[in-house]
């Protein structure tokens, strides 16, 4: 389907903001939802709302089938070998915490090392910091170059027999850098370390194949792939998930409970305690189907054109510097303007109906690395177009004039 037709499927994009047509460039924070996702939610609540895996009545069976159909759709979306390897979580943050609290507590001990990078989101820093403090392990950081790339040679020097885990972001939410995760996984495995890939920003833009990547864990959020908030995914290799201790205790994750001892359920239910987010999980399948119908190749080409155009036009604005000029970038551009605070730009752009994100983007150490308080970030999705970038550039021109 043509991208112009796909845009029509996002009802929110026809709304006005402050009297102007909405230009939505905050897709890295959360993407907008196509009608099919909104319909899937309404359909579930209208026709077959029920708890899953428990009931024998028709509604429960229909809800269970739809919920498990999403698991199969996710398996295919990330290229996993089996649905047992797909765990539903609330989002990327919970998926990373799940690994830190289970595999991490079992496998990371005093003196062991965890390597993350200087461009991680706080969700891929804090869980490891907590773990290191509790278990007396050491957190090591891969440096970031001036272009906003990972210093791969420095990373390889950090690796040793002490390294137990490497946890890196696939696509930086602040710079747009696409990291060489295949190379990172191969190098980490050579020293026997496990690798978690934070796919929060990559799942929507890149083809994901966890088997080819050979990562041990992969995490992403539904709301950044045109799906609902409140549902995310942890992929883990079956042998790791099988051996890890449980995360939360409660309903559904058990086989048998007595007051003396509880035995736990099989994968993937072992990690899904309590009534899950049924509606949003079911609607996630509609989002993944939408992406595959649009075709990731077409999406990638279109987004690359948006990035190239936005980058070229932004560079013509006096006093504007782009933060993050990696060779390989996803469709996201972060910038600062000399003597102007990013937040002021964001407020004035909002007055023109243009939604961007400003600030540190939950990557404070990265901002410190570049010696800046934050950036203005414009992140593009399949429904954005070149005309909207022209609106941004014109808006920025006016904004800078007003603030200078």
Active site residues: 362
Among 32, 102, 163, 201, binds ligand C6P (CB under 6 A): 201
Among 24, 25, 85, 91, binds ligand C6P (CB under 6 A): 91
Q: State the sign of the Cα–Cα–Cα–Cα dihedral 370, 375, 379, 385.
A: negative
Q: How far is the CB of 5 from ligand C6P (least distance, A)?
A: 28
**In whole angstroms, how large is the CA radius of gyration of the chain?**
22
CA distances from 389 to 10, 149, 179, 378 (A): 18, 25, 26, 9
By the rule CB under 6 A, 277 interacts with ligand C6P:
no
Of the candidate spans 66-74, 116-124, 271-279, 334-342, the one that interacts with ligand C6P by CB under 6 A turns out to be 116-124
Residues within window 157-196 making contact with ligand C6P, judged by CB under 6 A = 169, 173
Of the candidate spans 42-50, 334-342, 354-362, 366-374, the one that interacts with ligand C6P by CB under 6 A turns out to be 354-362
By the rule CB under 6 A, 358 interacts with ligand C6P:
no
Question: Which lies closer to ligand C6P via its Cβ, residue 63 or residue 219?
Answer: 219
Of the candidate spans 90-98, 101-109, 270-278, 313-321, the one that interacts with ligand C6P by CB under 6 A turns out to be 90-98
- Name the token pair of 121: 């989101």
By the rule CB under 6 A, 206 interacts with ligand C6P:
no
- Name the token pair of 44: 């579930």
By the rule CB under 6 A, 33 interacts with ligand C6P:
no
Q: State the sign of the Cα–Cα–Cα–Cα dihedral 43, 47, 49, 50.
A: negative
Question: Which lies closer to ligand C6P via its Cβ, residue 228 or residue 268?
Answer: 228
Nearest residue to 120 via CA among 111, 129, 112: 129
Of the candidate spans 91-99, 159-167, 245-253, 392-400, the one that interacts with ligand C6P by CB under 6 A turns out to be 91-99
Of the candidate spans 87-95, 108-116, 298-306, 394-402, the one that interacts with ligand C6P by CB under 6 A turns out to be 87-95
Cα(165)–Cα(185) distance, rounded to whole angstroms? 10
Cα(105)–Cα(124) distance, rounded to whole angstroms? 16
Residues within window 122-151 making contact with ligand C6P, judged by CB under 6 A = 123-124
Three-state DSSP at 43 gives helix
Q: State the sign of the Cα–Cα–Cα–Cα dihedral 288, 294, 295, 299.
A: negative
Among 97, 102, 167, 221, binds ligand C6P (CB under 6 A): 221
Question: Which lies closer to ligand C6P via its Cβ, residue 93 or residue 331?
Answer: 93
Among 357, 370, 378, 381, binds ligand C6P (CB under 6 A): 357
3-state SS of the chain: helix, strand, coil percent to 5? 45, 20, 35
By the rule CB under 6 A, 92 interacts with ligand C6P:
yes
Among 85, 112, 149, 198, binds ligand C6P (CB under 6 A): 198
Please state the φ and ψ torsions of residue 321, each to the nearest 5 degrees: -125, 135
CA distances from 269 to 73, 126, 273, 274, 355 (A): 17, 26, 7, 10, 39
By the rule CB under 6 A, 29 interacts with ligand C6P:
yes
Among 206, 305, 362, 367, binds ligand C6P (CB under 6 A): 362
Among 181, 184, 200, 213, binds ligand C6P (CB under 6 A): 200
Instruction: Give the number of residues in contact with ligand C6P, rule: CB under 6 A.
Output: 17
Q: How far is the CB of 197 from ligand C6P (least distance, A)?
A: 10
**357-359/354-355 β-pairing:** unpaired
Of the candidate spans 54-62, 121-129, 182-190, 320-328, the one that interacts with ligand C6P by CB under 6 A turns out to be 121-129
Question: Which lies closer to ligand C6P via its Cβ, residue 92 or residue 331?
Answer: 92
Cα(138)–Cα(284) distance, rounded to whole angstroms? 37
Cα(79)–Cα(100) distance, rounded to whole angstroms? 23
> Which residue(s) pair with 264 in the sheet?
254
Q: For residue 168, give the H/E element and its range.
A: strand 163-169
By the rule CB under 6 A, 361 interacts with ligand C6P:
yes
By the rule CB under 6 A, 93 interacts with ligand C6P:
yes
- CB contact set of 90 (below 8 Å; sequence gap of 6+): 230, 231, 232, 277
Residues that bind ligand C6P (CB under 6 A): 28-29, 91-93, 121, 123-124, 169, 173, 198, 200-201, 221, 357, 361-362
């Amino acid at each position: 389907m043509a991208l112009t037709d796909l845009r029509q499927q996002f009802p929110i994009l026809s709304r006005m903001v402050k009297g102007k047509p909405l230009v939505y460039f905050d897709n890295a924070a959360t993407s907008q939802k196509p009608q099919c996702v909104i319909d899937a939610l309404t359909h579930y609540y209208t026709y077959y709302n029920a708890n899953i895996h428990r009931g024998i009545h028709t509604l429960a069976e229909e809800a269970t089938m739809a919920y498990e159909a999403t698991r199969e759709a996710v398996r295919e979306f990330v290229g996993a070998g089996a649905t047992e390897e797909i765990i539903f979580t609330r989002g990327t943050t919970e998926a990373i915490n799940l690994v830190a609290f289970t595999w991490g507590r079992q496998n990371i001990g005093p003196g062991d090392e965890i390597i993350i990078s200087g461009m991680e989101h706080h969700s891929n820093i804090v869980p490891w910091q907590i773990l290191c403090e509790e278990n007396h392990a050491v957190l090591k950081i891969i440096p970031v170059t001036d272009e906003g790339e990972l210093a791969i040679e420095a990373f390889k020097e950090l690796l040793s027999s002490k390294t137990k885990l490497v946890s890196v972001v696939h696509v930086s939410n602040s710079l747009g850098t696409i990291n060489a995760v295949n190379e990172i996984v191969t190098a980490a495995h050579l020293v026997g370390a496990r690798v978690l890939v934070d796919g929060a920003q990559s799942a929507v833009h890149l083809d994901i194949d966890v088997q080819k990547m050979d990562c041990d864990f992969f995490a992403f959020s539904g709301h950044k792939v045109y799906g609902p908030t409140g549902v995310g995914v942890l992929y883990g290799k079956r042998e790791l998930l099988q051996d890890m201790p449980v995360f939360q205790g409660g309903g559904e994750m058990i086989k048998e409970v007595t007051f003396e001892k509880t035995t736990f359920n099989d994968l993937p239910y072992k990690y899904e305690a309590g009534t899950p987010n049924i509606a949003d999980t079911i609607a996630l399948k509609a989002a993944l189907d939408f992406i595959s119908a649009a075709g990731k190749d077409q999406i990638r080409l279109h987004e690359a054109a948006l990035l190239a155009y936005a980058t070229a036009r932004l560079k013509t604005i006096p006093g504007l510097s782009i933060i993050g000029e990696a060779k390989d970038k996803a469709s996201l551009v972060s910038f600062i303007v000399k003597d102007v605070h990013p937040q002021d730009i964001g407020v004035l752009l909002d007055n023109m109906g243009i939604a961007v994100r400003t600030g540190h983007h939950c990557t404070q150490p990265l901002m410190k690395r570049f010696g800046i308080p934050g950036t203005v970030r414009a992140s593009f999705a399949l429904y954005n177009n070149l005309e909207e970038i022209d609106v941004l550039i014109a808006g920025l021109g006016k904004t800078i004039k007003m603030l200078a």
